[in-house]
Structure 1
Amino acid sequence: MDRRQFVKSSTLAFCTLPVLPTTIPHIRADAMPEWLRAMVKQADKSIESLLTYQEKDAQSPDFGGLRDGFDLLNPHSTSALIQYGASGLFAPTSKYYQSKELLAAMDQAALYLIKTQHSDGTIDLLSTNFHSTPDTGFLVKRLAMAYTMIEKSGTEGAAKMLANLKTFLLRGGDALSVGGIHTPNHRWVVSAALTKLNELWPNPKYVARAEQWLAEHIDIDRDGQYNEKSTFIYSSLTDRLLITIGKGLKKPELFDAVRKNLDMTMYYVHPNGEIVTDASGRQDKAIIGTLENYYYPYRYFAIKDGNARYAAMCRLIEQTASQKTTGFVDYFLTDPSLWAELPAEKPVPVNYVKTFPNSGLVRIRRDRRDSTLIANNPVWFTFMKGNAVLQGVRFASSFFGKGQFQSEKISENGNEWVLTQKLDGPYFQPYPKESIAPDGDWEKMPRNLRPQSEVQILETKVIIRETSGGMEIEVVTNGTERVPAALELIFRPGGTLKGVSKVENTKDSWLLKEATGSYELGGDTINFGPGLALHKNIALRGALPAMEAPTVFLTGFTPFKHVIRFS
């Protein structure tokens, strides 16, 4: 099962959690801070939900396994019951504290994991990866933490369940010690899982394999971003993994990369507490995401370093995504040092222009208003004003079926940012006589060898400027004339558009014919204009299909020249 689909289908925050060595103490309920008690209470709801997905028929070959929202039995859902359940057994304020009934269900889950584990120690991610070392690492890391918590919980009869869980973990350790990976973060997933296993059952092969991956160095650039640029999912995951490895293998130098990423992330925050995801190279690209995945690393270093801005980031996350941090309850149950009060806060940046050249991103924020400029992306501009969100601007023309605008880079020119694209559309002459295929097969006469003629050129320049009340975009084309073109303003669903005209036979497409339009959501309003509507062709050949969102079009022909303002 896809890890992200499990989050959606079961409303559980499925996250990979770091843990402490097996010397974690029993904890007292009266010592737990109120926010942790609330986190445990919310985790109890997750346990209750997970139990409803478990196969309870002892005669079924799937006995003990958990299904996902697609009714697929899988190791990830099954593992989640043990992971969350361990927190319930361990936390004295949980309604599942030392529950023998929950322990029995977790034991059945452990036996199902053993049953579905391959002989090489790996498990499958049914949506895509089979005999998967990295997916085994995701499970092993959290289950190693669960093992420690169950052991320390004092739950009667835990020894039998722990023996079964140990079998799964040790077999997984064999796989992690030799298996391969797919993506950059998988190296740290595997290394962190091996680190946790080594804390439970020290083994030189665990450390040696982790050291082998670490020898490749951490993939962080000058901007403070990891290779995948996955701000919602994998950057925060890498932060957590590197903390785990750094602590477990006594490599504090790994913390420098985490701090660098946390520093950068402060400039990736929208006014409403969401995170900028537009430049991601993974499946979280342009999704709506909040900052809960960063709560542990920000809190860890806020307390460890006395970092006032990290403390402010923690408060921001508590205000905007507190319930979503429940998936990380294990971090906080097992590390009482994190129960300390945060240091005095220093405001996070909310008024800046910040360029991230390695990510092809420019961030402009003015308190409750912000914009993002993006290179190498058909969506190259966003604008947010409180709750009102223009989630993308695109430009396209029907130039030889390849006119979707996208710029390789963003150039800064004084107080302007410039994005450019140059396209050509040639026609082709007869094939060189001496090279004509005797059988007339078109494929044997490649087009690149034909002389070109009547070559058409279309150059597009987008100039973006900050204004006193917002932003403005100027789009200018040169070259071939009378090419239909359209500027596309894509708003977040849920708001109200005014001053625009519905395009016939469309679900949510509109034209801005003149003057200005507005978009309102949650008491905040974005005004935009002036408009332009010289035709109604909003599905230009070669352009990307319309998004499932309210979209306003400005249409014209080349030479296209128009300035639109947002405030």
Structure 2
Amino acid sequence: MNRRTFVRNGATALCLLPVFESPVFARLKRVAPADKPTWLLELIKGNDQQLITVRALRITDTANLAFGGLKDNDDIPNPQTTADFVRRASCAMSCPESEHYRSKALLEEIDVALKYLLKVQHFDGTLDLPATNFHSTPDTGFIVKRLTTGYSLLSKSGTPAMDGVLATFKSFLLKAGEALVVGGIHTPNHRWVVSAALAKLNTLWPDARYVARVDQWLSEHIDMDVDGQYNERSTLIYSPLTNRLLITIAKNLNKPYLLDYVRRNLAMTLHYVHPNGELVTEASGRQDKAGIGTPEGYWYAYRYIALLDKNGEMAAMCRQIEKTLLPKSIYYVDYFLDDPAIWRELPPSQPLPTNYVRAFPKSGLVRIRRGDWDSTILQANPVWLTFHKGNAILQGLRIAASFFGKGQFQTETIDKQGDTWILTQSLDGPYYQTYPPETVPADGDWEKMLRSNRKQSEIQRLQTRITIREVQRGIEATIQMTGTNNVPVALELIFRPGGNFTGVTKHPNRDNAYLVSNSGSYTVQSDTITFGPGLQQHKNVQLRGSLPAMDAPTVYLTGFTPFQHTITLT
């Protein structure tokens, strides 16, 4: 029996009702320009150039079972790379400005690629993500939400002899829709991936089941906290993705209230930008945690809301992305081709926030920015402070003590007291007495003697308190560790590779490790971070129980408890 079934209900009648578009969307469309702006022409040109690399991944051997598909960089044929080719090729073929406009050769390549997708599509409409997920509804949704746009663009291109290709395209998408109306998900954003794909399908081929399933997912409400961040806190990947998805659902199913969530996240993200244009990622709950990246993924959403609301700050962010990140934005060309309403000229720019102190308690961080430098204070993270100054970047401060194999510092709270922020941690290191004699197992099996049943004695304690405050042109952190005496301590200043040190000495036994007794500096291009005073009371920089050293140039300050030291970063 087919494992996927769907009970049709009264929602079927919805497809017979007229749909009234909200004035929110209508006012944006009324003034859509006919001509493509310069930045979009650059995206089209870039897409043409990238197609050269993508096409090289095609499997052209007709004897190969994966003929027509595309392989990844590990030579594994897969639906994702294949669908990405179909999307890019459809964009190119739909644009008179592209060298592939109405290309017969590219149409044939799309045809065999779609037939490969149909071949690997399971009976229930799902596709696999060979790296991890199989019979995956969400990964099917990721593909459908972009290929529906590819279908629309190709169908409007006027390409000769495309009817058969469009029929194959439609068969694939409709079969995938059968999976999307019933399938499950893994993560919060998957709900909106599936919903956006269904919303796009419903625009092409209205089906009340599509709308009903979207409404089921939306009934769980949008996973946004008071900071304006989504549950996964993924500033590089899933937050910008969710913004694009919610706009797609809002537009295609006439649900303008969803745009309020997008607005809130975009406003928050303005305060997550480093002076060099990178994004704060340390609070992410996904694979982009502490990753290095820029905000091109937000461009479509910023442009959409900037035009809709006449918002000058968001317009300024758009212009910054267009000026500095256009080559990285080619991947999103289909979003812009599909929505001529956002080709319009942006409203006048307003200054972006570059001078502020903002706490984001749900995300567990405090942001301080003063022009060309900024700092982030973090909770529930072994990296508890970062400091960026232009291109010179202190990726993080970490501190650990050789305390019973568990001395890596991590605060659970950031407490503001006046003009300072307080981070704390309390640890204990007990010893254990003999096991209660009446419950000692006859076979003397240690695993059966629960440690919780033993009395503790000789309990050692270690309290850490870090006080952080802003000083002129930088940050000052005072670290106190008290309790058990003579415990070795090591403070790490972890810098991003690419710069040069002064005032430090190379560690005699470890690569990429440096010691400092006085003041030091780290320079990248014309930007310099100074730090100090240093401290060097021992050379043990990899303490038992501490995290492994990062693969980055790291300066260590070392001492013993009772430990008190103030370090300044400017």
Q: TM-score range by the shorter chain?
A: over 0.9
For residues 505-547 of structure 1, what are the alpha-carbon distances to aligned partners after superposition, in whole Å with 9 as ceiling and x for unaligned?
32211111x2211100121000000000111111101000011
The amino acid that maps onto 1:242 is: L
Cα deviation for residue 498 of structure 1 reads: 1.4
For residues 442-490 of structure 1, what are the alpha-carbon distances to aligned partners after superposition, in whole Å with 9 as ceiling and x for unaligned?
0111101100000000000111110012111111011001111100000
Alpha-carbon separation, structure 2, partners of 1:108 and 1:522: 49
The amino acid that maps onto 2:567 is: I
Match of 1:329 in 2: 333
1:254 matched to 2:284? The reply is: no
Match of 2:553 in 1: 550
Q: Could you say what secondary structure the match of 1:273 adopts?
A: coil
Alpha-carbon separation, structure 1, partners of 2:549 and 2:225: 34
Q: Could you say what secondary structure the match of 2:156 adopts?
A: helix
Match of 2:489 in 1: 485
The amino acid that maps onto 1:516 is: S
Q: Could you say what secondary structure the match of 1:325 adopts?
A: helix
Structure 2 contact 465–479 (Cα < 8 Å) conserved: yes
Alpha-carbon separation, structure 1, partners of 2:100 and 2:510: 52
Cα deviation for residue 504 of structure 1 reads: 2.0
Q: Could you say what secondary structure the match of 2:182 adopts?
A: coil
| 1:99-110 alignment runs, 5 A limit | 99-110=103-114
| 1:226-265 alignment runs, 5 A limit | 226-265=230-269
Alpha-carbon separation, structure 1, partners of 2:128 and 2:157: 30
1:448 matched to 2:452? The reply is: yes
1:79 matched to 2:83? The reply is: yes
1:504 matched to 2:508? The reply is: yes
Identical amino acids, percent of aligned pairs: 57
1:132 matched to 2:131? The reply is: no
Alpha-carbon separation, structure 1, partners of 2:115 and 2:499: 49
Alpha-carbon separation, structure 2, partners of 1:112 and 1:498: 58
Alpha-carbon separation, structure 2, partners of 1:552 and 1:493: 12
Structure 1 contact 419–461 (Cα < 8 Å) conserved: yes
Match of 2:378 in 1: 374
Alpha-carbon separation, structure 1, partners of 2:297 and 2:316: 15
For residues 282-341 of structure 1, what are the alpha-carbon distances to aligned partners after superposition, in whole Å with 9 as ceiling and x for unaligned?
001010010100000000011111111110111121233121111111121122221111
Decide which of 87, 92, 102 is 1:88's aligned counterpart.
Answer: 92
1:181 matched to 2:185? The reply is: yes
Structure 2 contact 39–322 (Cα < 8 Å) conserved: no
Match of 1:50 in 2: 54
**Structure 1 consecutive aligned stretches of length 4 or more whose deviation exceeds 6 Å:** none
Structure 1 contact 500–510 (Cα < 8 Å) conserved: yes
The amino acid that maps onto 2:344 is: A
Match of 2:535 in 1: 532
Match of 2:272 in 1: 268
Where structure 1 has 5 or more consecutive residues not aligned to the other structure, the ranges are 1-19
Structure 1 contact 423–459 (Cα < 8 Å) conserved: yes
Cα deviation for residue 390 of structure 1 reads: 0.3
Match of 1:394 in 2: 398
Match of 1:123 in 2: 127
The amino acid that maps onto 2:540 is: N
Cα deviation for residue 62 of structure 1 reads: 1.2
Alpha-carbon separation, structure 2, partners of 1:319 and 1:528: 33
| 1:172-211 alignment runs, 5 A limit | 172-211=176-215
Structure 1 contact 391–490 (Cα < 8 Å) conserved: yes
Where structure 2 has 5 or more consecutive residues not aligned to the other structure, the ranges are 1-24
Q: Could you say what secondary structure the match of 2:362 adopts?
A: helix
Match of 1:303 in 2: 307
The amino acid that maps onto 1:515 is: N
For residues 43-99 of structure 1, what are the alpha-carbon distances to aligned partners after superposition, in whole Å with 9 as ceiling and x for unaligned?
111211110000011221111111111111111000000011111001111111110
Match of 1:348 in 2: 352
Alpha-carbon separation, structure 1, partners of 2:69 and 2:82: 5
Q: Could you say what secondary structure the match of 1:358 adopts?
A: coil
For residues 170-217 of structure 1, what are the alpha-carbon distances to aligned partners after superposition, in whole Å with 9 as ceiling and x for unaligned?
111011110000000000000000000111111111111110000000
Cα deviation for residue 163 of structure 1 reads: 1.2
TM-score, L = length of structure 1: 0.94
1:476 matched to 2:483? The reply is: no
Decide which of 431, 434, 448 is 2:435's aligned counterpart.
Answer: 431
Structure 2 contact 244–300 (Cα < 8 Å) conserved: yes
Match of 2:18 in 1: none
Match of 1:515 in 2: 518
Q: Could you say what secondary structure the match of 2:555 adopts?
A: strand
The amino acid that maps onto 1:531 is: G
The amino acid that maps onto 1:234 is: Y
Alpha-carbon separation, structure 2, partners of 1:35 and 1:144: 23
Structure 2 contact 149–338 (Cα < 8 Å) conserved: no
The amino acid that maps onto 2:554 is: T
Alpha-carbon separation, structure 2, partners of 1:453 and 1:275: 48
Aligned residues between the structures: 542
Structure 1 contact 290–320 (Cα < 8 Å) conserved: no
Alpha-carbon separation, structure 1, partners of 2:521 and 2:420: 25
Cα deviation for residue 237 of structure 1 reads: 0.5
1:221 matched to 2:245? The reply is: no
Alpha-carbon separation, structure 1, partners of 2:149 and 2:131: 25
